[in-house]
Amino acid sequence: MGRAAVKVMIGLSGGVDSAVAALLLKRQGYDVVAGFMRNWDAMANSDVLGNPTLGQDLCPQEQDYNDAKAVAARLGIELFRIDFVKEYWDDVFSYFLDEYKRGRTPNPDLFCNKFIKFEAFRKFAVSHGCDLIAMGHYASKECIGEKAYLLESRDQAKDQTYFLAQISQAQLQATLFPLGKMLKSEVRAIAKEANIPVALKKDSTGVCFIGERHFRLFLKNYIPAMTGAIVDIATDEVIGRHEGVYYYTIGQRKGLGIGGIANHVPGSHFVVRKDVKNNILYVASEHEDHYLLGDTVIVDTLNWIADVPENGKTYGAKYRYRQKVTPAIVTALDEKTMTLKLPLPQKAITPGQAAVIYDGSRCLGGGLIKAVYFEGRLINE
């Protein structure tokens, strides 16, 4: 079947990456249509109610849609506006809040990809006669026999395989990644040369689909503040007050409000532990960063995209998005839980975040960090 007979729906976000991905698909001869996903209703959710200033994302959200329309018009492709607000709340945002209430630090992008971009969107595309979907993610796919493998992007600074570690084999099989072999600079150059309307648009940041916000204020609309003690983990001394342990993350330095403490070595502090039960936030001085080290990680909610790692074998692992891959010895505890032994202890491994496993350039999948140990002692869970 020629590419002209293959109908592809591209997720068009209003940004430059998805716009260039759509352009490349057209140049490759595919029959291309586009879908803009609306997954967050700021007016209906409580971040606007009682705090109108946080509703300022209404304009950017509509601007993204208008940008997507302009791109679709420039490329001559049909654009669907798709409402996944309920699915996003049920499958992503509820999980996001539940994790924070447990004192963990979730990564909603993982489940936004798993349940929305690569599942609800894929089903919508199929219902509209599409054979495949495509995304502007920086990732690649390699098919060997009947299996599809997820590969790192050529642009290591933009690689997004970490956020794709929870997608399934079926989802990967049905997806094209037109930008996988490209550098971001090349994407920008193509957009400018083709007069794409968003060629110079700034890249988006923030929580998947929710956007850029004052994050602590945003969370307070869903998880009420409950002040408590900030305790120096080395001395057990109370050195400040926090607004609620839920709002902080392991390794966080900014926003603690405990500078210039009497009888303490000058310098910043960072979060090393959150005791949700007793509402205590433990911190350490920047001179005591050994409190952040972990050498054993318990990981659950496992998902393997193609191949399951071998027990006792050393793989590469990442525990946050921009971290370099470091060695980890994998041991399965059961089908949904594994232990990672780290020959090189790592800092600020955070419960709720993803532990993603790599075999060379292949992203095998991974799971969620459940607990972290150092030299046999529980550090965080």
Calculate mean pLDDT across residues 187-206.
88
Q: Left (φ > 0), alpha (ψ -120 to 50) or beta: where does 307 sit?
A: beta
pLDDT tier at 125 (50, 70, 90 boundaries)?
Answer: very high
Query: CA 45 to CA 361: how far, in whole Å?
Result: 40
**Gap between the Cα atoms of 110 and 358, Å rounded:** 16
Q: How confident is the model at residue 201 (pLDDT cuts 50, 70, 90)?
A: confident
Intra-chain end-to-end CA distance of the chain, in Å: 51
Tokens of 338: 């594994």
| Residue 97 near residue 246, CB atoms below 8 Å | no
- The backbone torsions φ and ψ at residue 139, rounded to the nearest 5 degrees and listed phi first, read -160, 165
Taking the C-alpha atoms of residue 83 and residue 232, their distance in angstroms, rounded to an integer, is 47
CA pair distance 64, 132, nearest whole angstrom: 23
Using CA atoms, how far apart are residues 206 and 176, in angstroms rounded to an integer? 24
Report how far residue 206's alpha carbon sits from residue 228's, in angstroms, rounded to the nearest whole number: 27
- Model confidence over 149-185: pLDDT tens digits? 999 999 999 999 999 999 999 999 999 999 999 999 9
Helices (H) and strands (E) in the chain, counts: 9, 18
Average pLDDT of the residues in 288-295: 91
Beta-carbon contacts of 176 under 8 Å, excluding residues fewer than 6 positions away, are 8, 25, 132, 133, 134, 135, 141
Q: What average pLDDT is seen over the chain?
A: 88
Task: Give me the phi and psi of 333, to 5 degrees please.
Answer: -95, -40
pLDDT value at 250 more than 70: yes
Strands (E), 260-320: 269-275, 280-285, 293-304, 314-318
> Which amino acid makes up residue 135?
M
Structure tokens at 91: 């499958």
Architecture of domain 3-214: 3-Layer(aba) Sandwich (3.40)
Q: Which spans in the chain are helix H?
A: 16-27, 58-75, 85-88, 94-101, 108-111, 121-127, 169-173, 184-193, 215-220
User: Regarding beta strands 280-285 and 228-232, do their DSSP bridges make them parallel or antiparallel, or are they unpaired?
Assistant: parallel
* Domain-wise residue ranges, the chain: 3-214, 217-290, 293-380
pLDDT(206) > 90 = no
Position 52 pLDDT exceeds 60: no
Q: What is the dihedral of CA 254, 257, 262, 268, to 10 degrees?
A: 0
* pLDDT of amino acid 50: 42
CA-CA distance, 18 to 255, in Å (whole number)?
34
Residues 6+ apart with CB under 8 A from 308: 332, 364
- C-alpha separations of 280 from 123, 231, 238, 275, 364 in Å: 45, 7, 10, 5, 37
**What CATH architecture applies to the domain 293-380?**
Beta Barrel (2.40)
Condensed to tens digits (0 to 9), the pLDDT of residues 209-236 reads 555 455 667 777 787 778 999 999 999 9
Task: Dig out the tokens for 21 from the structure.
Answer: 């991905």
Q: Is the confidence at residue 238, as pLDDT, over 70? A: yes
Tokens at residue 241, please? 């007050």
Residue 312 pLDDT > 70, yes or no? yes
Which pLDDT score is estimated for 41? Answer: 67
Domain 217-290 in this protein, CATH class:
mainly beta
Q: Which of 35-39, 240-244, 340-344 has the lowest mean pLDDT?
A: 240-244
Q: Which of 59, 112, 143, 363 is catalytic?
A: 112
Find the catalytic residue in 59, 143, 208, 363. 208
Instruction: Confirm whether 3-214 and 217-290 share one CATH topology.
Output: no
State how far the Cα of 134 lies from the Cα of 118, in Å rounded to an integer.
9
> Across-strand partners of 329?
314, 341
Known catalytic residue at 112: yes
Contact (Cβ atoms closer than 8 angstroms) between residue 83 and residue 121: no
Q: What is the pLDDT of residues 62-93, one digit of tens each?
A: 788 999 999 999 999 999 999 998 998 899 98
- The pLDDT of residue 10 is above 80: yes
130 is catalytic: no
Other Cβ atoms less than 10 A from the Cβ of 177: the count is 23
C-alpha closest to that of 21 among 175, 237, 151, 165 = 175
CB atoms within 10 A of CB 159: 23
